[in-house]
Structure 1
């Protein structure tokens, strides 16, 4: 359930950023495709649609996504997606905890835009 909520929250944050963040919107310019993030067994999946400088998401898989990121299981997905270690994603791929299908250049693009949607940490006073 936590992984499903994490994917939902990611969709919500990207939707908000696509409305309010000029740097994020710039990264969406000219893009028109869908992608999905899921568990390898497909029990948990959420797809994201990039179109008209916006991102929308919906639960479930989509037919023919431009790319998909599949985590070994929900716990692995949560661990890697929330890891502070910048190398966790690459390590997950190397250890076969993550499987990527589709356009790798778009996966790299996705990784570059996620930095615009992460909650900002509170500064110490």
Structure 2
């Protein structure tokens, strides 16, 4: 049911540029959740990285207008829209456009570091877990065709 609600949200007309950018960022976070969920079910190396972690984390805009939290439990990841009441860490981008651009950047680590230095990205919670999360993303890249 939630899947269909997401599709309906995507199909409704967008009123302005800001709303369109928010929708792109929401969609990116949703797809990230799908990819991590699949990897947690099918990729043994990804499951090993999850280990025995039992936590929630979230990616969001600073104003909280766009937020998605990810739940790690029993070597699986699931995600839900909205903010979590007590995430282990949160990565907050100054706005949806900046979040989308950062997560789509060719050199994501440089984009994150630049954003943290100029306060366009704020980390709330345990920074060591943020590094752990960034390590997970290497397992989400598409396999190269031979």
Equivalent position of 1:115 in the other structure: 138
User: By percentage of residues, which structure has more helix?
Assistant: 2
Equivalent position of 2:106 in the other structure: 84
Report the secondary structure of 1:87's partner residue. helix
Q: Relative contact order (C-alpha < 8 Å, sep 6+): which is higher?
A: 1
In the alignment, is residue 97 of structure 1 matched against residue 120 of structure 2?
yes
Report the secondary structure of 2:59's partner residue. strand
CA distances 1:68-96 after superposition (whole Å, capped 9, x unpaired): 00000000001100101131111111111
Deviating above 2 A after TM superposition, structure 1's stretches of 4 or more consecutive aligned residues are 118-123
CA distance in 2 between partners of 1:118 and 1:98 (Å): 23
> Cα RMSD (Å) of the superposition?
1.1
CA distances 1:25-79 after superposition (whole Å, capped 9, x unpaired): 0001110000000000000000000000000000000101000000000000011
CA distance in 2 between partners of 1:41 and 1:113 (Å): 26
Larger Rg: 2
Report the secondary structure of 1:37's partner residue. strand
The count of residues paired between Structure 1 and Structure 2 equals: 123
Shift of 1:118: 2.4
CA distance in 2 between partners of 1:121 and 1:93 (Å): 31
Please, what TM-score do these two structures have when normalized by structure 1? 0.94
Shift of 1:122: 4.9
Matching residue within 45, 57, 70 for 2:79: 57
Report the secondary structure of 2:140's partner residue. coil
In the alignment, is residue 10 of structure 1 matched against residue 32 of structure 2?
yes
Shift of 1:120: 3.5
